[in-house]
Amino acid sequence: MSDLKRVERIESTPFQTHTDQNVEGWERIASLAGGVVMVGKGLRRGGVFGLIQVAIGGVALARGITGHSSVKSLLEKSRQDMNNVRVKIQRAGEELNRLKANAEAATNTATVTGNDSLTSPKTGV
């Protein structure tokens, strides 16, 4: 008769999550090579600009090693969002065309009673 609650296991923490690789092939090799070159040039140059080159080279190296680019993920997500918006606009346009066609069909089949409510309105209303 234990009053202990069952503890659920945590599968991963934010620092352990494995991100999908979105950099592959020649792009990954180019990131590695460019990162090595930038780090080397930055270390030789020194100063603030050398430090900036080392930082940029480090980011390129990390991109090549991990195979993941957050910037590329963000751009791909933005492209997907734009495609979703485009699809919604196309659907709205198609719906508008259907409504227009239905309205035209309804006006073509309507019969005119001869009572123009603007010139001879109903009395007692």
pLDDT band of residue 120 (cuts 50, 70, 90) is low
User: In this structure, are 58 and 75 located in the same domain?
Assistant: no
| In-domain check, residue 125 | no
User: In this structure, are 26 and 63 located in the same domain?
Assistant: yes
pTM passes above 0.75: no
Among 6-15, 24-33, 52-61, which is the least confidently predicted range? 6-15
Residue 38 in this model has a pLDDT that exceeds 90: yes
User: In this structure, are 57 and 88 located in the same domain?
Assistant: no
Q: What total of structural domains would you count in the chain?
A: 2
| In-domain check, residue 7 | no
Whether the CB-CB separation of 43 and 54 falls below 8 Å is answered with yes
Alpha carbon dihedral 94, 95, 100, 104, in 10-degree steps, equals 100
**Structural domain span for residue 55:** 20-68
Joined tokens for residue 120: 């001879």
> What confidence score (pLDDT) does residue 116 get?
63
> What confidence score (pLDDT) does residue 44 get?
93
Mean pLDDT within 8-23: 65
| In-domain check, residue 5 | no
